[in-house]
Structure 1
């Protein structure tokens, strides 16, 4: 994609880092023994996989049912390739800026925004990270509540408190406690457990899907719906690949940095294929009966129940880990980097309240993917890359960056509108029942 020629560019016109901004790297290289161990290529490959694959994959079969299986697969491949391209844009932008300064002060996407566009750049990145991370947590709560309501249904309490509402309200006190922990070191191993459970659940679902498909053979559609359905599918696909905020830390930890792009590309390619197969198999098995969370299509056996409960447990404990970047941004900007218990509790309460009013898991994935994830994953990387390398790139490179920015903005606006209509339509339909 022409990255090899970018080393000759300059950073003319870029803002200098504020003097009070703490450096993430020393002026003099530290002694090798004081550095953390770097990641080998296999470990980097695994870390990329862990950073990207999450609960969003469970909404892909429903999306394939909406878009058609070929349309859904094409969307995933296109979004996967574009996401990889934008990840490499920010990697090479950081490398250029590091080379100009002689040492690294850029440890995160927010640092990159500050270096390229000043405080406004950091504000843009911070805002998108807060909204996306909070959106992921809302999705977790919706998944847990809907899954528990499916496994253990009961009549509304007092005619008002439905199973989903009871599930979310019962989780609130425990989440307030978990999110009060200053350091999440003790909870970090649970993220690895979460990915093991996700992979295991995907394996069980695929086997169940194949058995069901060969038994029932439902009618299938390759392409379905109009522009609104396409926007819906693209939003879910963007959500499924969201992990761009982890790219710079992963590249920093890679032992063989020249091969990081190849390792990242291989991992993204494998994830794209896995996503396409998972979405297609789920739709093949259940056809028009595919639900927004594919695990709720499974039978009522013990293995199915264990898989669904395991997913609920790991997402429950992953919630505070995913909220941590939100706390970091809010406490850095509003409280001088000081821990603030009441602010954390307010943020958790807001996330729970949003989850109460969103009826459909996949609809919410589409909303988050179409809005904040699209801006964070496509618009900002291309805009930052264009500012740093614009004077040295040829017309093809400039046109490519501008096209990504424009398409990203158009899709963010139209996709967000389409997803909101889907959510409001779902609420109206539920209200009529």
Structure 2
């Protein structure tokens, strides 16, 4: 599997159509907002529970290490696309899947498309699980209606509104919703962290620093899941007005998100210790402030849903509709995501499984592999060492982490 510019160029021109109508470009603020909301999602709510299992020092080390490696691999994707598009006559690369085709042919494109669809849909499934679980908790509802549980009813209540949001075609058009959701999310997370501090000062539960190697893979899977935006990097860079500043905007976003994640996870674990739940917000009581915070997080994830489904639409519309906007297909995909959310039993274990399997391969293995295939002649052995180490690390973690997560799910 190698990279041949001439062969790939002629082949890609047949399979990767150019955009006929260029989308409106995003300012740095809009780009930052979309980066922030495409990364910050339901995964952050499972981090305190992950720290409970791994210990808070081990959890912080893993979290910041994953953040740095994720940013590095995101930039590998951007650099690889820019290098390919600098070749005269090379077609425009619009997505992660297009990059897979340009470097590895049809097989590479199929693999990327398949995993992007699974991962992005998995993120949206987790959003619906959190929203429905939180609303059931807040409403204290346990009675069924028409033979349906409260969780099922809340998921179906979200469905018609998501149909409307997912009809919006452009990431730039979604940017105002992203900014609104970011503000709500930051406010809600800030209130949670302040509440955590007061609870910690009152209770001061015993804490552990290192949980041991037996929980390393679990914690790593949740951390990888938390930084869930790899499938959005190329579309976001494509719609950025100032592409030369994209790396800096992305880096700033990752630093802020990493610090926010670390503080949120550590304070959540410090507050409740061994009583920390899979979704941290369920540790709080039924007061008005707690309810507003949890509703704020639900609002954030509700408006993040269409943004995270955008790569899925790019894949299926390209393969089934010749890259043309297809409303009925988008609505069908929203329906399928809702149906899967009805079947998933446990939020935290689901995060670890998706993070350990699909997200590790997408976030680490493929970016490093594509970068090596394109830059190996320019960078020589250094490229082989650095990219090869990331590929090997990703494969080992994906295999062992998936097995460990499956055992946890099956044992419950």
TM-score under structure 1 length normalisation: 0.84
**2:226 is aligned with 1:240:** yes
**2:9 is aligned with 1:19:** no
Offset, 1:233: 0.8
> What CA distance in whole angstroms lies between the structure 1 residues aligned with 2:98 and 2:234?
10
> What CA distance in whole angstroms lies between the structure 1 residues aligned with 2:133 and 2:23?
45
> What CA distance in whole angstroms lies between the structure 2 residues aligned with 1:399 and 1:139?
36
Partner of 2:363 in structure 1? Answer: 377
> What CA distance in whole angstroms lies between the structure 2 residues aligned with 1:256 and 1:327?
25
Match of 1:289 among 270, 275, 279: 275
Match of 1:275 among 237, 249, 261: 261
Deviates more, 1:377-386 or 1:117-126: 117-126
Partner of 2:84 in structure 1? Answer: 97
| Change in 2 beyond 3 A, CA 1:14/1:398 | farther
- Secondary structure at 2:306's aligned position in 1? helix
1:71-108 alpha-carbon deviations (Å, 9 max, x no partner): 11011111011111111211211121122227761232
Partner of 2:336 in structure 1? Answer: 350
Offset, 1:359: 2.3
| Change in 2 beyond 3 A, CA 1:269/1:121 | same
- Secondary structure at 2:379's aligned position in 1? coil
Unaligned runs of 5+ in 1: 1-9, 27-33, 427-433
> What CA distance in whole angstroms lies between the structure 2 residues aligned with 1:11 and 1:255?
30
- Secondary structure at 2:339's aligned position in 1? helix
**2:122 is aligned with 1:128:** no
Match of 2:155 among 146, 168, 187: 168
Partner of 1:261 in structure 2? Answer: 247
Offset, 1:372: 1.5
Offset, 1:417: 2.0
Offset, 1:408: 0.9
Contact 1:54–1:198 (8 Å) recurs in 2: no
TM-score under structure 2 length normalisation: 0.88
| Change in 2 beyond 3 A, CA 1:145/1:98 | same
> What CA distance in whole angstroms lies between the structure 1 residues aligned with 2:303 and 2:236?
23
| Change in 2 beyond 3 A, CA 1:305/1:199 | same
**2:403 is aligned with 1:408:** no
**2:55 is aligned with 1:68:** yes
> What CA distance in whole angstroms lies between the structure 1 residues aligned with 2:23 and 2:156?
44
| Change in 2 beyond 3 A, CA 1:14/1:244 | farther
| Change in 2 beyond 3 A, CA 1:111/1:225 | same
Aligned residues: 407
1:336-387 alpha-carbon deviations (Å, 9 max, x no partner): 3455565445433332232222222222111121121111111110110010
Question: Matches of residues 2-81 of structure 1 in structure 2 within 5 Å?
Answer: 15-16=8-9, 17-20=11-14, 21-24=16-19, 39-40=27-28, 44-81=31-68
| Change in 2 beyond 3 A, CA 1:388/1:304 | same
Contact 2:189–2:264 (8 Å) recurs in 1: yes
Partner of 2:179 in structure 1? Answer: 192
Contact 1:231–1:414 (8 Å) recurs in 2: yes
- Secondary structure at 2:297's aligned position in 1? helix
> What CA distance in whole angstroms lies between the structure 1 residues aligned with 2:363 and 2:245?
22
Contact 2:168–2:174 (8 Å) recurs in 1: no
- Secondary structure at 1:391's aligned position in 2? helix
Unaligned runs of 5+ in 2: none
Deviates more, 1:234-243 or 1:355-364: 355-364
Deviates more, 1:316-325 or 1:201-210: 316-325
Partner of 2:196 in structure 1? Answer: 209
Partner of 2:105 in structure 1? Answer: 118
Deviates more, 1:71-80 or 1:170-179: 170-179
Deviates more, 1:411-420 or 1:317-326: 317-326
> What CA distance in whole angstroms lies between the structure 2 residues aligned with 1:258 and 1:335?
33
Q: Which runs of 4+ in 1 moved over 6 A?
A: none
